[in-house]
Amino acid sequence: MEMTYTNLGTTGLIVSRLCFGTMTFGQSQWKLGGVDQKLADEMVHTVLDRGINFFDTADVYSAGQSEEMLGKALGTKRQGVVIATKVRGRVGSGHNDAGLSRKHIFDAVEKSLKRLGTDYIDLYQVHGWDALTPLEETMAALGDLVQSGKVRYIGFSNYAAWQAALSIGISERLSTARFQTAQMHYSLLCRDIEHEVVPLCFNKGIGILPWSPLSGGFLSGKYKKDIEPASGTRVGDRGMWFPPFDKDLGFKVVDELRAIGSRIKATPSQISLAWLLRKPAVTSIIIGARTMDQLNDNLKTMDVKLDDQSFGKLEDLTAPKPEYPGWMIGFQGQDRLPKA
């Protein structure tokens, strides 16, 4: 099936429903992939052929190599695509080589532009909260970057809903560009954002970009209960499960994915991604891969039809536990439902 497209947040920018994440590019200090330039070129050309026009990277991925390799792989195709990158992580040992101060943001954007080989970034995202910088300073600096044309749109990642809501309020007060996207961890094994971030995104028209949609590869079904993860896998090589999740539930979900897969002829990875594609407020899923086989597997998600019954089964199995005040808001809200 063909790629489908949607608007990014409340903007007129059109992006593919799958975004290609390039965290596996380069010799990562985090042992995430080690994809070299030749394989990166092949991956980027494959996803472009399959209709993906949206790419995600960050200044900290493989200490800048990921941005450099993505820029090279795109070459003359750059104008036709949407590039998202990030700022916040530590990129040097100096006091101001991390965070979201005006100084660091302005320095970091220049370096990202250079590495990417472009004169503008389509979507510039704050990679996480910076407790040391006033939000007013960050939002004003980001707004100025949009004014300058170096950045077209801005987004947040890994913010609590209250942090994002405060940021948006400040941008509105300053009449500057506001966050259009929320890049958050979201998968069958982590639906925490449904408590607070998803309702905020609905309210403000913010597009959700799920990261680690396969829980770091676990939802591919390749890890087995009671068997040590093999080397050559992310978990085996890193000796850690990241992002964290409930293992018992994880193996139950993989069993369910296999059962659904045998009915609808799809792999666990494809069904996990297809489930996310059906979740309201999700704009584009950031897929990741270390090999061409994995990439081709994940790209076939666009062919998968996840029927209502299978979708409902996964919804019930992975439903987030009620949290206060969410359950009280729901309880009190019963008298605010319009009469049928």
Ligand X SMILES: NC(=O)c1ccc[n+]([C@@H]2O[C@H](COP(=O)([O-])OP(=O)(O)OC[C@H]3O[C@@H](n4cnc5c(N)ncnc54)[C@H](OP(=O)(O)O)[C@@H]3O)[C@@H](O)[C@H]2O)c1
For residue 288, give the 3-state DSSP assignment.
coil
Residue closer to ligand X (CB basis): 172 or 228: 228
Asked if 252 and 305 count as a contact pair (C-beta separation under 8 A), the reply is no
Where along the sequence are the contacts to ligand X (CB under 6 A)?
A: 21-24, 33, 56, 127, 157-158, 183, 211-217, 220, 222, 233-234, 269, 286-290, 294, 297-298
Q: Per DSSP, which regions of 186-325 are E strands?
A: 207-211, 285-287
User: What is the identity of the amino acid at 17?
Assistant: R
> Is position 61 annotated as part of the catalytic site?
yes
Residue closer to ligand X (CB basis): 173 or 278: 278
Residue closer to ligand X (CB basis): 46 or 233: 233
215, 220, 223, 229: CA torsion to nearest 10: -70
Residues in the chain: 340
Q: Round to whole Å and give the CA distance between 65 and 280.
A: 34
Closest distance between ligand X and the C-beta of residue 68, in Å?
A: 15
In this structure, the number of other CB atoms found within 10 A of the CB of residue 328 comes to: 11
The pair phi, psi for residue 289, each rounded to 5°, is: -160, 150
Residue closer to ligand X (CB basis): 231 or 309: 231
Determine which one of 61, 159, 186, 223 is catalytic: 61
Q: Round to whole Å and give the CA distance between 109 and 87.
A: 8
DSSP 249-286: HHHHHHHHHHHHHHHHT--HHHHHHHHHHTSTTB--EE
Closest distance between ligand X and the C-beta of residue 322, in Å?
A: 26
Closest distance between ligand X and the C-beta of residue 175, in Å?
A: 28
Residue 3 structure tokens: 């790629």
Burial 157-184 (b: 16+ CB within 10 A, else e): bbbebebbbebbebbeeeebbbbbbbbb
Residue 88 structure tokens: 């916040």
Residue 43 structure tokens: 């991956």
Closest distance between ligand X and the C-beta of residue 330, in Å?
A: 29
Residue closer to ligand X (CB basis): 152 or 234: 234
Closest distance between ligand X and the C-beta of residue 232, in Å?
A: 7
Residue closer to ligand X (CB basis): 137 or 237: 237
Residue 79 structure tokens: 């104008």
Residue closer to ligand X (CB basis): 32 or 336: 32
Residues 6+ apart with CB under 8 A from 5: 14, 15, 16, 17, 53
Q: Is the dihedral of CA 241, 245, 249, 252 positive or negative?
A: negative
Q: Which residues are identified as catalytic?
A: 61
